[in-house]
Structures are given as C-alpha cells and as structure tokens.
Amino acid sequence: MSKTKIVVIGVGAVGATTAYTLLLRERVDELVLIDVNKDKARGDAIDMNHGLPFVGKTKVWAGDYEDCRGASIIIITAGAAQRPGETRVDLLKRNAAIFENIIDAVLQHNDDGILLIASNPVDIMSYFTWRKTQWPVERIIGSGTLLDSARFRYLIGEELGIDPRSIHAHIIGEHGDSELPVWSLANVAGTSIPLGEEKKERIFANTRDAAYEIISAKGATYYAIALALDRICTAILRDEGAVLNVSTLLKDYHGISDVYLGVPCVVDRSGVREVLKLSLSEREQRQLRMSAEKLQDLIRSMNE
C-alpha cells in the first residue's frame, strides 16, 4: 500500500498545532514540516519524534519543497499572523507576497495533490492559489467558515445544553467580518432553534468576533483551527463525502461567481466534489452577495 503524506508549510502556531493534531490522531504515515525558519521546523520535528513512543508510527521530519513530491495534501499556514486589532484583510498584501514564492516552489515538485489553505484572508489566498496554480478548482480548498461554523455550533449548543455535534447550523461567506449565520436553516434534529432574536444576535456576534477576543487574550488562535484542518484532511484521506463549510470557487451561487467563499461542500478524495446550494432567505442571499462583493472589490484593488 502506498504511504500517505501530508506537508505543512508554515510551522507557526497554527501549522505546529495542526501537525501535532495529525500526529496524535495517527492520520498519515509521513508528516513533513516546512518553514522559512528552519530551526523552528527542525525543533518541532525533533520534539514530535520524541513523543512517538506514546502514539502510532508516523514519520515526522523538517523538510524542503522537494518533499512535496507524492504528498496527498499540502497545508499552507505560512504567513504573518493577525495583529491585535488588525482585520484579516489588512493581512492581505503581506501574505500575498509570501504565497507567490511558496506556490512556485510547491509546483516544481507536486502537480496532483490537494492544496489546503488556512492563511488569512483565507478566501482571497485560496482564490489566488487557484488562479496561480491553474489546478482543477476542486483541489484548491480554503478552510473557509468551517472554524466559524464550529464556534457557532458550540455557542448554540452551550445555550441549549445540547452536544454541538447535534447542532446543524452554518456560517457562510467570508471567513471574516462579512460572514453570515444561516439562522433560517439552523436546526436540531429538524426542529428549529428555540432562541429569541436577542440571543441569536449575541451568539452570532460572539462567533464572528471570536478571533479578536482570543487574539487579544493570548496572541493567536490555533487549537480549534488545527482540529478543523484535521477534519478536512480526514474527509479527503478517507474519501468520506463529508459536508464541510470550506472555501471554494462559486459558480452562479445565488448569482455569485468567480470568488472563493465558505459554503457547505461535499469533500472526498477528489477534494471539493460538490458545492451544496442552500435555500437561503432573501435577507441571507443579500448578505452573502455583500460578502462576495467585499472580497471581489479587494481582489480588484490588489490587481490595480
């Protein structure tokens, strides 16, 4: 049987925690860590290797771009982290330059893997990556609003005293300030969520602003995003057909095209196999279009 390999590019808070999560859950045979800061990648690889007597047999090493050869998934978490008070879009210019170099280097050694993007602003970075690689769109996936939806489900679950895994609720759109909650379809076992408008507004505000709160408290967010990235990798590696709110290219989605946004997608070995079209209310459709327009304006302004 051929070995499964995942490469993590950018071994900072998110990259290292993601690699550690993949290691703990024994997802792959080979795990490669790449960072411009080679000492950090080397140190993390040694540290993780010392834990191997306590977990399964994963080979972990600090590598270089040639190690992308044969990788099923290449996760990019490289880039500048969001500064306190900085919006995700302020990060755009700093991260776009970093991405140019990384993608060029990956393309020299891999042309059939799946690129999973987490660096912010994730929808724009994913769109750039798709444009630059010219790979089939299903193989360029952004982590999208999977983390936001998890936060949303957790907060609803807390309010109702119900396990968040039993809450079906979606955050869609930009992973960022213009994202929106799809309250019209939120449910527990098909029953609508019994919460008043005020509580719903508070839950959504806490979801949308969670990153700001965590960053001002401890400088970065990494545990939940690592679990979200692990979830996407697992759906791919096990060919699950799982429905996950990842960022993908929209084509006439409620009139929106040519932009990456987080929406429910069927994820399997091929990547994003299918985009699911939610029956949104008029208001939600309007909000989603505004989210798309915000990102499209930004993309345009970057090209000027």
Q: Should residue 40 be labelled a site residue for ligand 6V0 when binding is judged by CB under 6 A?
A: yes
Q: Which stretch binds ligand 6V0 (CB under 6 A): 42-50, 57-65, 76-84, 277-285?
A: 76-84
173 binds ligand 6V0 (CB under 6 A): no
Closer to ligand 6V0 by Cβ: residue 31 or 193: 31
Beta bridge mates, 91: none
* Cβ atoms of 226 and 247 closer than 8 Å: no
Structure tokens at 271: 């990547």
Cβ 102 vs Cβ 119: under 8 Å: no
Q: Which of 6, 8, 12, 210 binds ligand 6V0 (CB under 6 A)?
A: 12
Per CB under 6 A, which of residues 105..144 are in contact with ligand 6V0?
A: 118-120, 122, 143
CA–CA gap between residue 138 and residue 90 (Å, rounded): 27
Q: What angle do CA 15, 111, 116 make, to 5 degrees?
A: 30
SS3 59: strand
| 165 annotated to a ligand binding site | no
Q: Of these, 24, 96, 188, 220, which contacts ligand 6V0 (CB under 6 A)?
A: 220
Identity of the residue, 175 or 294, whose beta carbon is nearer to ligand 6V0 in the bound complex: 175
216 touching ligand 6V0, by CB under 6 A: no
Report the Cα 167 to chain-centroid distance in Å: 20
For residue 50, indicate whether it is catalytic.
no
Q: Whose Cβ is closer to ligand 6V0: residue 193's or residue 211's?
A: 211
Q: Does 98 bind ligand 6V0 (CB under 6 A)?
A: yes
Considering the candidates 50, 170, 175, 254, report the single residue annotated as catalytic: 175
Task: Specify whether the CB–CB gap between 77 and 14 falls below 8 A.
Answer: yes
Q: Read off the tokens for 87.
A: 């919006």
Residue 12 DSSP class: S
3-state SS of the chain: helix, strand, coil percent to 5?
Answer: 50, 20, 35
Task: Give the separation between CA 87 and CA 179, rounded to whole angstroms.
Answer: 13
The reply to whether 148 sits in an annotated binding site is yes
The annotated binding site for beta-D-fructose 1,6-bisphosphate is made up of: 153, 168
Q: Which residues bind ligand 6V0 (CB under 6 A)?
A: 9-15, 35-37, 40, 77-79, 81-82, 91, 95, 98, 101-102, 118-120, 122, 143, 147, 175, 220-222, 225
Q: Catalytic residues, which ones? A: 175
